[in-house]
Amino acid sequence: MAIFIAHRGNYYGVERDYENRLDYLKEAYNGGYGVECDLQMYNGALYFGHDEPQEQVDWEFIGRPYVFCHAKTIETMQVLLNGGVHCFWHENDKMTLTNMGFMWCYPGVHPVHHRAIWLDLLGHPTPAIPSGEIFGVCGDNANNNNLTWIKKQ
């Protein structure tokens, strides 16, 4: 089985007003899910936020296992790499590697590998997940595919 990674903290549907908010991210994390969060630099500080800075980053939180930091700019990626957190940057690549060697896949791209993370952002069912053969699925709704997820350790 794979883990579910809550996209921007969403695990029970899209909640745009709460996405990338620390309390919301922690709620998903404390519920047993991995978390993907968007980060960006603003005035020399690191913030959560996809399109604009929302609130300053909690470095302790983003350094936890199963937190995947999506750098929104190359400058942000440099800061995250220096900070030693699990991070990646991409645009429309079919797949990018995180700094810890995971395959972060574009929606609709489904390689079968124990370090692959598929994206289910369009609400479409992903293909059947071979048992133990991918690491996880990042999406907005843990119930979307009627799959049983293992909880993060």
β pairing state of 45-48 and 55-56: antiparallel
Confidence of residue 20 (pLDDT cuts 50, 70, 90): very high
Cβ-based neighbour number of residue 2 at 10 Å: 24
Question: What pLDDT was estimated at residue 143?
Answer: 82
Predicted confidence (pLDDT) at residue 151 exceeds the cutoff of 70:
no
- Indicate the burial class of 69 (C-beta count within 10 angstroms; 0-12, 13-18, 19 or more): buried
Average pLDDT over residues 139-146: 78
CA–CA separation, 130 and 1 (whole Å)? 8
* pTM of the complete model beyond 0.85: yes
Integer-rounded Cα radius of gyration of the chain = 14
Confidence of residue 2 (pLDDT cuts 50, 70, 90): confident
Q: Read off the pLDDT of residues 76-135 as tens digits, 9 standing for 90 and up.
A: 999 999 999 999 999 889 999 999 999 999 988 999 999 999 998 876 667 777 767 899
Predicted confidence (pLDDT) at residue 27 exceeds the cutoff of 60:
yes
Main-chain dihedrals φ then ψ at residue 92, nearest 5 degrees: -110, 20
Question: For the chain, what are the domain ranges?
Answer: 3-139
Q: Read off the pLDDT of residues 34-92 as tens digits, 9 standing for 90 and up.
A: 999 999 999 999 999 998 889 999 999 999 999 999 999 999 999 999 999 999 999 88
